Amino acid sequence: MNRINQKLQETKKILSIYFSAGYPKLNDTVQIIQDLEKSGIDMIEIGLPFSDPLADGPTIQASSTQALHNGMTTQVLFDQLKDIRKTVSIPLVIMGYFNPMLQYGVENFCQKCAEIGIDGLIIPDLPVDVYAEQYKEIFEKHGIINVFLITPQTADERIRFIDSVSDGFIYMVSSASVTGSQSGFGSAQQAYFKRIADMNLKNPQVIGFGISNKETFNQATQFAKGAIIGSAFITHLTENGTAKIEEFVKAIR
């Protein structure tokens, strides 16, 4: 069974952390992953930097730009992660845009992910229809879970279609905006969380965008299986480097 599915079967709420590979320094990637697991994180999203990140807010964009300047590429990331399963056992997901994967070759990309122990991909700009028609078979052949995003504006019919072609979790974007921290969730967002929970989808939901602290983590996981923190953790890396990762995690739960 895929590690993502195993993790989702656990009773506790999932805390996932996102960071940009190659940030703050090019070779920090593996150390950050190892320290996050030691700190009790359930799942890690490794951002593959791209020059035109459509869904990313200023914090993640800046880290992605710096990582590219540091020399991060698809091949460098794969080289960094080639022995990651010797030290890390939690689910690892690569989040990135489709262009670098297309350039690498989708089949080659999925095969390489399987070889090094990547469990899933999140590709915000790959439409679910295109995935279902052209790429689903390739992903399944290599045991890679593809995670799709929904927003408050996504129609129920499309959500159910996404649910039907998914086999992991659905990434619930908390609001119709780019990534970034916020102080809390308003009544409209909480109503959206409840609406999706009441749809009784077969795939659990994990909420991202706007989760930054214990309060927003608890608000999000009241209705969902887990939550993802990205911008707040990258801000922590900007201010502290790879130090004090455990302190950051303990402040959330």
Those residues with Cβ within 8 angstroms of residue 195's Cβ, 6 or more apart along the chain or in another chain: none
Query: In what helix (H) or strand (E) does residue 122 lie, and over which residues does it extend?
Result: strand 120-122
Structural contact between residues 175 and 210, judged by C-beta atoms closer than 8 angstroms: yes
Report how far residue 237's alpha carbon sits from residue 248's, in angstroms, rounded to the nearest whole number: 10
Q: Which residues are catalytic?
A: 45, 56
Q: How many CA atoms are closer than 13 Å to the CA of 77, on its beta-carbon side?
A: 29
Whole-number Å distance between alpha carbons of 136 and 238? 37
Exposure of 183 by Cβ count < 10 A (0-12 exposed, 13-18 middle, 19+ buried)?
Answer: exposed
CA distance 76 to 61: 19
